[in-house]
Amino acid sequence: MSVSISSSFVEKQVIGPEDGVEQIQVLPAVEDKYGGVVVELKGDQTLDSEVYSSSLRFSMSQWKQKGKKGVWIKLPKQLSNLVDVTVKEGFRYHHAEPDYLMLVHWIPETVDPLPPNASHRVGIGAFVVSSKREVLVVQEANGFFRDTGVWKLPTGVVDEGEDIFAAAVREVKEETGIETEFVEMLAFRHSHKAFFRKSDLFFICMLKPHSFEIQKQDLEIAAAQVKFLLDEKIHHRIYDKT
């Protein structure tokens, strides 16, 4: 066996069953800022699980020799055939997105300090008040309050990279067709084990409507209307700001 190092990869030559030589390359990786490496395989690649397994074992030995710590492997969904092989080499699931699965392994024989997956989901409730002291409320077509007759504030989940106030404005537009503007944050609450073991942060945003021409979204909303008279003091608090 011989090991050679080039500018792009490390290669191991072993005796093969046919032509006598089989080349095993270190998986393509970039170093992170914490002494680890990140492997990001491409979805347009075709990798045999046995070839990949050999490359992964060889790569791990090379990274261990170099003192690397955390190893992250990003597998696109097109390479789902490699998940089992990766897990059998000691990797664990870290998180998943619609187009990939991230697996991770801590090389040193110490406590694994790698950061866990995101621990929280962020939701919003929209408190929309008209100039006539009316509050926008909805009835859900799905979910916990379906067919209960309960009227509630429009709610939703903040998208990745989205600001909380922007999410509140967006959710009201999506559910009721009403354009609004953000006024202020009223309150928030923190709960745990709310969604697949994740904790939940929920923010109530006060919004001012540009109109109250409701065009409800039939998929999520059974009914929407302006309802209930708001206390005069709270109403002045909203409209005195503008």
Catalytic residues: 174
Q: What is the identity of the amino acid at 206?
A: M
Distance CA 99, CA 215 (A): 33
CB 214 within 8 A of CB 122: no
Radius of gyration of the chain measured on its C-alpha atoms = 27
State CA 184 to chain mean position distance: 26
The three-class DSSP label of residue 88 is helix
Residue with tokens 């909203």: 238
Residues 6+ apart with CB under 8 A from 216: 138, 175, 176, 177, 223, 224
A 10 A CB-CB count for 87 gives 13
Order of strands across the sheet that contains 155-157: 155-157, 120-128, 198-209, 180-195
From the list 176, 182, 177, the residue with the least C-alpha distance to 164 is: 182
Give, in degrees to the nearest 5, the angle at Cα 50 between 110 and 116. 30
